[in-house]
Amino acid sequence: VGDGEVFDVAVIGAGVVGCAIARELSRYPVRAVVLEAADDVGEGTSKANTAILHCGFDAAPGTLESRLVRHGYRLLTAYAAQVGIPVEPVGALMVAWDAEQLAALPRLAVKAAANGYPGSRIVERPELYLREPHLGPGALAALEVLGESVICPWTTTLAFATQALNGGVELRLGTRVTGITPGGPAAPHELATSGGPVRARHLVNAAGLAADEIDRMLGCDGFTVTPRRGELVVFDKLARPLVNHILLPVPTERGKGVLVAPTVYGNVLLGPTAEDLTDRADTGSTRQGTESLFRHGERLLPALVREEVTAVYAGLRAATEHADYQLRGHPEKRYVCVGGIRSTGLSASMAIAEHVAGLLVEGGLGLREGRDPAPVRMPNIGEAMPRPYQRDDLVAADPEYGRIVCHCERVTRGELRDALGGVLPARTLAGLSRRTRAGNGRCQGFHCGAEVRALLAGRVDPAGTGDGTDDGRGGGAGPAPAGDPVRSVTR
């Protein structure tokens, strides 16, 4: 699309939600562009969450969030199996620790049924300790929810973006939207961006923590984002045998509370906290946050807090003054706002995308004759399926999959090479870690950092202005480039 040309749709934000919307749009013969301020997809809230694929059993019945989480859970479960996103259906136990919480469990079972989960059941104390022998003393009973799963949030966003790119959607990274003015009938939206002007007929605001700012640029004023920080602790893989399910607390007004969950990478997570901030960029971990998590952990699973900590991190939920998602179409403005996607956006992402497509149609966008996106198979970075170094066939065909670079996480040169190629190459160390796990292990890159940096430097031009094309060596276990020509612009 040249300077004078107009996109059918511009999506602001390439988090898990914006990428899911881009993938959905790639099914139709429309010209769409995604504008992302960061240098990679999934760099905002989508990279730092609790990584649970919620089935929606505890959402407020009747809300849009409840409907979209439930539907999104089904869509993403099927999609993950199709494209190879690591998911482990470990199930959840919501543990009651006092009489009040115990009394709440039957009510929560009724709520779960109202949300479409008749299968939840009360697990009495003896069974609970049989199933979770390391649980701290004093647990009274639990509500079992079979559907809750753990998922790889990074692969999810990358899979959506890869399919969107393969389907012809343009992705402009390093492109911040700074202003929006109304244009003429042919191009109702004129966007000022750090990468030059962009014109579009329809606009989707999936800007996460900045969704309210974008909304105001469009003359709307329906909500204000208050970043709600969630801090988490990642425990070493030696802690993994300590927990069999996602261990949930009984939720309160302020959120889902502090949980213990296995990860698909073989670690254990403790968190998140919930603290309202004013700074929309403050993703720092704090001493108070970590100490409060350890206090919770001591009660939930005392043996866990004696294990070694691999990392701490924090993410910001895009909370608003409203209880539900701020997801609405403004057909007269040819604009869809996807705001307030607080703590369930990963689970609901595919359903949100479908819903947004419907709202775009109401705004006059012709979305007929949708086709299935060309299939992709994502590299497996989860522990439930064989990793490349474990696959004799792969190593025999390409010895690079047998050369381990990151020994903590068993990441091979072949995987790093693939992640630096393909349609959506990593351009930063963090991007490389999200694609491969390199540097995420117990030594946090102390051992492999130099080699990984050298590989990155060899593949990314120093000015960071490469055009994102593959040199032909990528492939193998990497995202399979397929389908229409790819148009990826990286600044």
Chain residues that interact with ligand FAD, rule: CB under 6 A: 12-18, 35-38, 43-46, 49-52, 54, 176-177, 206-210, 230, 272, 315-317, 341-347
Would you call 202 a catalytic residue per the annotation? no
Handedness of CA 52, 55, 58, 60 (dihedral sign): positive
Report the residue number, 128 or 207, with the smaller CB distance to ligand FAD.
207
Taking a C-beta distance cutoff of 8 angstroms, is the pair 78, 355 a contact? no
Report the residue number, 198 or 455, with the smaller CB distance to ligand FAD.
198
Residues 6+ apart with CB under 8 A from 112: 57, 58, 118, 120, 143, 145
Name the minimum Å distance from CB 102 to ligand FAD.
Answer: 25
Report the residue number, 206 or 376, with the smaller CB distance to ligand FAD.
206
DSSP letter, residue 12:
E
Residues 6+ apart with CB under 8 A from 315: 45, 47, 48, 49, 229, 230, 232, 272, 283
Name the minimum Å distance from CB 20 to ligand FAD.
Answer: 8
Taking a C-beta distance cutoff of 8 angstroms, is the pair 320, 339 a contact? yes
Report the residue number, 212 or 400, with the smaller CB distance to ligand FAD.
212
Report the residue number, 142 or 204, with the smaller CB distance to ligand FAD.
204
Name the minimum Å distance from CB 313 to ligand FAD.
Answer: 9
Cα separations in angstroms, 290 against 230, 233, 273, 284: 11, 7, 9, 11
Cα separations in angstroms, 350 against 19, 357, 447, 455: 9, 11, 38, 34
Name the minimum Å distance from CB 398 to ligand FAD.
Answer: 33
Report the residue number, 194 or 390, with the smaller CB distance to ligand FAD.
194
Start-to-end CA span in the chain (Å): 16
Report the residue number, 166 or 175, with the smaller CB distance to ligand FAD.
175
Q: Side chain identity at 463, as an amino acid letter?
A: A
Alpha-carbon Rg for the chain, nearest whole angstrom, is 22
Cα separations in angstroms, 152 against 50, 68, 149, 156, 255: 10, 19, 10, 6, 22
Name the minimum Å distance from CB 104 to ligand FAD.
Answer: 21
Q: Which residue out of 54, 71, 189, 296 is catalytically annotated?
A: 54
- Tell me how far apart the alpha carbons of residues 204 and 487 are, in angstroms, rounded to a whole number: 20
Taking a C-beta distance cutoff of 8 angstroms, is the pair 100, 141 a contact? no
Cα separations in angstroms, 9 against 6, 31, 209, 276: 9, 7, 21, 33
DSSP letter, residue 255:
B
Neighbour tally for 116: CB within 10 Å: 18
Name the minimum Å distance from CB 86 to ligand FAD.
Answer: 14
Report the residue number, 38 or 139, with the smaller CB distance to ligand FAD.
38
Report the residue number, 208 or 468, with the smaller CB distance to ligand FAD.
208
Neighbour tally for 465: CB within 10 Å: 10
Cα separations in angstroms, 369 against 26, 30, 158, 201, 356: 11, 11, 25, 20, 17
Name the minimum Å distance from CB 46 to ligand FAD.
Answer: 3
Locate 247 and state its tokens: 């261990």
CA atoms within 13 A of residue 39's CA, in its CB half-sphere: 16
CA atoms within 13 A of residue 229's CA, in its CB half-sphere: 19
Name the minimum Å distance from CB 387 to ligand FAD.
Answer: 23
Name the minimum Å distance from CB 54 to ligand FAD.
Answer: 5
Residues designated catalytic: 54
